[in-house]
Structures are given as C-alpha cells and as structure tokens.
Structure 1
Amino acid sequence: MATKKLVRSREYNIIAGVMGGIAEYLGWSPFKVRLLFIVISSLSAAVPGILVYLILWFMMPLAQEQ
C-alpha cells in the first residue's frame, strides 16, 4: 500500500507548486484549491495568506521527478 506524501507539485506549479501539491494530495482540482486559498486569505484578517504560502513553500519538499 502506497502512502501519500504532501509535496510540492512539479506538474501543477505556477509559483512554487504549493497549491498544486495540496490539490494532488487531496485529489482536487488545482484551480479550486487556488481559488479557495485566495478566498480564505482575503477573508482572514489574522494571518496573511502570503505568510502561510511562504511557510508552506519552505516546509514542503519538492516532488521527485518521475
């Protein structure tokens, strides 16, 4: 049984592949994950979305080439 890992996507990357990696992990559309992130980030006053994105960028490893 293969275990899924949360990694940055090489296929669905615009900036760093963070949202594409989350979409691949969840089995969702990358567009929907990006849109959801933008909506949540714009509605949240406590934590800026860019800070969350930067933290994820440095914490998530890049996917292996296949």
Structure 2
Amino acid sequence: MSRFRSLKKSQSNLLAGVAAGMGEFLGWSPARARAGWVIFGILSFGFAIVVYTIFAFLFPPPNHFNLDNFRQ
C-alpha cells in the first residue's frame, strides 16, 4: 500500500467531482470545498472556472469497482 494519497474525483459529485474530491483529499466536507470554489470563482473573476475545467480533465475518475466491498 502506498503511503501517498492520490487526488481523485469524488463519487459524490455535482458537476465533475473535482471540488468534492479535493475536499476528501484535504479532509473537508464536500460542501465546504464547493463553497471554497465558489468564493475562489467570485474573487478571481471567473478564473476558477478555467482551473476547475482543467482539473476535471486531469484528475482520474473515482474507483467504482472496489474489491473490498465484496469481501465483507
């Protein structure tokens, strides 16, 4: 098992799962991460939309198939 966490999109997504995935990575709730993106979007005059779109293409999708769920 790797000691490094990977930054992935979340399964609890509204748009692309980027904000929720970053929130899970940082230990925040998805709502808090989404609020941060909204504030960042307002303060950056829309630059956050460009960053969010780039992250949506760069971050890998969540693991939908988890073998541990079947072993329980």
Q: Give TM-score scaled by structure 2 length.
A: 0.79
User: Gaps spanning 5+ residues in structure 2: where?
Assistant: 67-72
Higher alpha-carbon Rg: 2
Aligned residues: 64
Indicate the RMSD between aligned Cα atoms, in angstroms.
1.4
Mind listing any 5+ residue stretches in structure 1 that lack a counterpart?
Answer: none
In structure 2, what is the equivalent of residue 5 of structure 1? 6
| Percent identity for Structure 1 against Structure 2 | 34
1-structure distance, mates of 2:18, 2:40: 16
What displacement does 1:3 show? Answer: 2.6
Question: Which portions of structure 1, spanning 4 or more consecutive aligned residues, are displaced by more than 2 angstroms?
Answer: none
Higher RCO (C-alpha under 8 Å, 6+ residues apart): 1
